[in-house]
């Protein structure tokens, strides 16, 4: 066996010079300080491979048409052995990749690894990051359930707010005037053919660059500031002190294996959401995007009326452009995050803002639902009546009471503690007279009896 | 810096230019012979305006004056493929005197489905707090314009919905939807 292996290697060596190539590849030195944080890129790559494999297997049974997509998914989950597991790996794997790719981006940013001579690796990396997000966006239409359909309606609407070309982009994305059979065809083709081809192309370029240039130096003492003309010398010196790539590969292997086990654990223990089949005529559905788009979805709260494109177009565009061009406007020699406080500070603030918006999205109150009738039963009759008015007048479309509603306006869970009935009544009748500039619509046409019940109910919330 | 050996390998400039031009012409020809039909194949079905197709909303007598009612309208256009067009939800309001308003169900902000509350007399969007009055005017939230509407016609006492259009705050036509 061993001699057979050796024979094969000799055979290859004679023709391709394999031994030298492998030696050069595995025993090249990585710079000193290369450690566990440097495993995120390879972890992302290996997770993408898992995604590719599970995706190919899902394609054996999935049918990309509005009539059959949902049923084919139900079939995969209910009838195909390991169906739920395979879909679970693919579904949760997508989220895991977003996390790992984002952490990889942060690692590269904070270690200044995008600086000379690796500017192009960064640019290609940003492409890869956007491709991963596009995979998410195109992928979640495919189940053709309610979430899929409505998230895509919103996604294409957002694309439609682009200036000048918005309407064309919108229709070309959808394949027509609404999200339908051609949209699914487009998203499917993009998800399984176009994006993978581009993704692997860019991955090869990204890897070729890393192999050609080597892993970026860790910005430790002596390397925290590197002038371009000193780079080659300092980098070689750092590699002298570093381990071999084979030793680093061990860390890569351990980290990926742990992530993989984590993914398997999730796929086994968590169920994969599949909502009801898409219904474009449903006007009770509350659309929510996938968690990694929460920051964009929550950003939409902040810009009203004619300013809507700021949130849907200009801020995302500015973000992408700033990300792409980072190595070209930030050409300071500092590499350690401590040696470039402005860059580190701005990046930390951006990440904090994104994290905050994501948290807001994740903890958004539950949509107003049918449990209200039950809750009303537990209340004294006059308060129950007020609650019915609250519900009937659609107050929960803008206000939250005890974790239910939409947080457009103030949370009213404890409104009675700060406002009395008199004030509440005056405010409801004409909000902008009491609080100039209040966006709340007036309720003066509400019959007195209902108004009193509503005010009584609100005052009771303490 | 070209040394003697490289000079021997280099082709005369005229020959080099000829080859480069020919390769460019050949690639350009292949790209356009393939590219033009493929671009049309991809984009034209999306951009082509279907013949003006009407949706059958229902008999006029179904709609009491002042009321707003959600209906599922059927498409009348002969369909090549897919054979069945799913029904389209429309909020229909009989404004009296033979006048109707037919509202598109998508919020003008980012397209979430608005719900009609007859008690409140308002449309509510479940996403970012958009509120519209019963004529579709924006009362609160981020929506940039009133609810979009369908053009309509009445034939033999049956109401039909046509193309969707956008209106301004005075509820006047501004442009066709996705024009």
The pLDDT tens digits of the residues spanning A337-357 come to 999 999 999 999 999 999 999
- Fold annotation for A31-362: Cytochrome Bc1 Complex; Chain C (1.20.810)
Q: Which residues of A269-283 are buried (b: 16+ CB within 10 A; e: fewer)?
A: eeebebeebbbbbeb
Instruction: HSE, CB side, 13 Å, CA atoms: give it for residue A113.
Output: 24
> What is the rounded distance in angstroms from the CA atom of residue A175 to the CA atom of residue A186?
7
Element (H, E) at B102: strand B99-104
> What is the rounded distance in angstroms from the CA atom of residue B110 to the CA atom of residue B102?
19
Residue A368: pLDDT band (50, 70, 90) is low
The pLDDT tens digits of the residues spanning B145-166 come to 999 999 999 999 999 999 999 9
Please provide residue A198's backbone torsions phi and psi, each rounded to the nearest 5 degrees.
Answer: -65, -45
A279, A150 contact by CB (below 8 A): no
Q: Is A154 on the interface with B (CB under 8 A)?
A: yes
Candidates B45, B140, B143, B175: best to mutate against A (most CBs of A within 10 A) is B140
A181: Cβ contacts below 8 Å, ≥ 6 apart? A65, A66, A175, B82
Provide the chain A residues 388-407 that lie in CB contact (below 8 A) with chain B.
392-394, 397-398, 406-407
Q: Is B82 on the interface with A (CB under 8 A)?
A: yes
CB contact under 8 A, B89 and A66: no
A6: Cβ contacts below 8 Å, ≥ 6 apart? none
> What is the rounded distance in angstroms from the CA atom of residue A101 to the CA atom of residue B13?
48
Low-confidence winner among A192-196, A457-461, B35-39, B100-104 (lowest mean pLDDT): A457-461
Q: CA dihedral in degrees (B21, B25, B26, B28; nearest 10)?
A: 130
Tokens (6 digits) for B158: 């049956």
pLDDT of residue A3: 79
CB contact under 8 A, B110 and A285: no
> What is the rounded distance in angstroms from the CA atom of residue A394 to the CA atom of residue A47?
45
> What is the rounded distance in angstroms from the CA atom of residue A168 to the CA atom of residue B178?
8
Query: B-chain residues within 8 Å CB-CB of A410?
Result: none
Residue B81, helix vs strand vs coil: coil
CB contact under 8 A, A280 and B106: no
Q: What is the DSSP string of A77-118?
A: HHTSTTHHHHHHHHHHHHHHHHHHHHHHHHHHHHTTTTSTT-
Burial of B34 (0-12, 13-18, 19+ CB in 10 A): exposed
The pLDDT tens digits of the residues spanning A423-455 come to 888 888 888 888 887 878 888 888 888 888 888
Instruction: State the average pLDDT over residues B72-85.
Output: 75
- Is beta strand A400-401 parallel, antiparallel or unpaired with respect to A404-405? antiparallel
The pLDDT tens digits of the residues spanning A259-292 come to 999 999 999 999 898 999 999 999 888 898 999 9
Provide the chain B residues 95-154 that lie in CB contact (below 8 A) with chain A.
105-106, 109-117, 119-122, 124-129, 131, 133, 138-144
Q: Is A7 on the interface with B (CB under 8 A)?
A: no
Residue A369: pLDDT band (50, 70, 90) is very low
Distances (CA, A) of A443 to A390, A408, A422, B139: 12, 17, 15, 11
> What is the rounded distance in angstroms from the CA atom of residue A85 to the CA atom of residue A49?
17
Residue A222: pLDDT band (50, 70, 90) is confident
Provide the chain A residues 186-215 that lie in CB contact (below 8 A) with chain B.
none
- CATH 2.60.40.420 domain locations along chain A: 372-460
The pLDDT tens digits of the residues spanning A49-99 come to 999 999 999 999 999 999 999 999 999 999 999 999 999 999 999 999 999
> Which residue does chain B place closest to A440, by CA atoms?
B140
Look at the alpha carbons of A298, A304, A306, A307 in this order and tell me if their dihedral is positive or negative.
negative
CB contact under 8 A, A441 and B131: yes
A459, A419 contact by CB (below 8 A): yes
The residue with tokens 């959600």 is B70
Please state, for a pLDDT cut of 90, what percent of chain A lies above it: 67
Provide the mean pLDDT of chain A.
91
Query: B-chain residues within 8 Å CB-CB of A299?
Result: none
Query: B-chain residues within 8 Å CB-CB of A304?
Result: 141-142, 144
ipTM over 0.85: yes
CATH number given to A372-460: 2.60.40.420
What homologous superfamily is domain B55-176 in, according to CATH? Rieske [2Fe-2S] iron-sulphur domain (2.102.10.10)
Provide the mean pLDDT of chain B.
88
Picking from B86, B112, B143, the nearest residue to A280 by CB comes out as: B86
- CATH 1.20.810.10 domain locations along chain A: 31-362
């Amino acid at each position: 066996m061993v001699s057979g292996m050796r024979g094969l290697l000799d055979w290859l060596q004679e023709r391709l010079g394999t031994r030298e190539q492998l030696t050069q590849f595995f025993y090249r030195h990585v710079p000193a300080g290369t450690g566990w944080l440097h495993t995120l890129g390879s972890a992302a790559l290996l997770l993408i491979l898992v995604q590719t494999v599970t995706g190919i297997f899902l394609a054996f049974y999935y049918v990309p048409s509005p009539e059959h997509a949902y049923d084919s998914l139900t079939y995969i989950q209910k009838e195909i052995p390991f169906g739920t597991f395979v879909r679970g790996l693919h579904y949760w794997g997508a989220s895991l990749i977003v996390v790992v790719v984002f952490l990889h981006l942060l690692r590269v940013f904070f270690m200044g690894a995008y600086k000379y001579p690796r500017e192009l690796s960064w640019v290609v990396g940003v492409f890869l990051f956007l491709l991963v997000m596009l995979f998410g966006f195109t992928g979640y239409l495919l189940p053709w359930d309610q979430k899929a359909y409505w998230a895509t309606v919103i996604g294409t609407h957002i694309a439609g707010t682009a200036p000048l070309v918005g309407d064309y982009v919108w229709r070309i994305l959808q394949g027509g005037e609404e999200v339908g059979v051609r949209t699914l065809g487009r998203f499917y083709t993009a998800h399984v053919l176009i994006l993978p081809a581009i993704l692997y192309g860019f991955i090869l370029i990204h890897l070729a660059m890393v192999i050609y240039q080597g892993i970026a130096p860790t910005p430790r003492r002596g390397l925290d500031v590197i002038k371009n003309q000193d780079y080659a010398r300092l980098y070689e010196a750092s590699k002298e002190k570093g381990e071999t790539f084979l030793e680093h590969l061990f860390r890569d292997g351990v980290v990926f294996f742990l992530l993989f086990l984590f993914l398997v654990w999730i796929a086994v223990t968590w169920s994969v959401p599949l909502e009801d089949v898409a219904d474009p005529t449903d006007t009770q559905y509350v659309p929510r995007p996938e968690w990694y788009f929460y920051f964009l979805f929550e950003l939409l709260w902040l810009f009203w009326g004619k300013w809507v494109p700021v949130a849907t177009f200009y801020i995302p565009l500015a973000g992408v452009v700033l990300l792409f061009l980072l190595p070209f406007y930030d050409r300071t020699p500092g590499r350690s995050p401590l040696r470039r406080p402005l860059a580190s500070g701005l990046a930390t603030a951006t990440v904090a803002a994104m994290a905050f918006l994501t948290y807001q999205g994740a903890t958004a109150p539950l949509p107003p639902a049918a449990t209200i009738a039950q809750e009303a039963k537990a209340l004294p009759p006059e308060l129950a009546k007020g609650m019915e008015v609250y519900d009937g007048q659609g107050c929960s479309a803008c206000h939250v009471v005890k974790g239910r509603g939409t947080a457009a306006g103030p949370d009213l869970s404890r409104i009675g503690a700060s406002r009395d009935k008199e004030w509440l009544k005056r405010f409801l009748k004409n909000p902008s007279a009491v609080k100039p500039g209040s966006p709340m619509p007036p309720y003066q046409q509400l019959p007195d009896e209902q108004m009193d019940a509503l005010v009584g109910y609100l005052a009771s919330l303490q | 810096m070209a040394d003697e050996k490289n000079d021997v390998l280099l082709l005369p400039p005229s020959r080099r230019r000829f080859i480069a031009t020919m390769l460019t012409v050949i690639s350009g020809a292949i790209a356009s012979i393939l590219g033009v039909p493929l671009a049309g194949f991809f984009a034209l079905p999306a951009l082509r305006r279907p013949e003006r197709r009407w949706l059958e909303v229902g008999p006029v007598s179904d709609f009491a004056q002042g009321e707003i009612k959600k209906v599922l309208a059927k498409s009348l256009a002969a369909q090549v493929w897919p054979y069945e067009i799913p029904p389209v939800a429309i909020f229909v309001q009989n404004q009296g005197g033979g006048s109707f308003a037919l509202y598109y169900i998508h919020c003008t902000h980012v397209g979430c489905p608005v719900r009609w509350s007859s008690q409140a007399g308002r449309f509510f969007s479940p996403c970012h707090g958009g509120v519209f009055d019963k004529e579709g005017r924006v009362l609160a939230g981020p929506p940039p314009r009133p609810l979009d509407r369908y053009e309509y016609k009445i034939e033999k006492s049956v109401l039909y919905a046509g193309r969707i259009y956008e209106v301004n705050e005075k509820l006047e036509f501004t442009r066709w939807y996705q024009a």
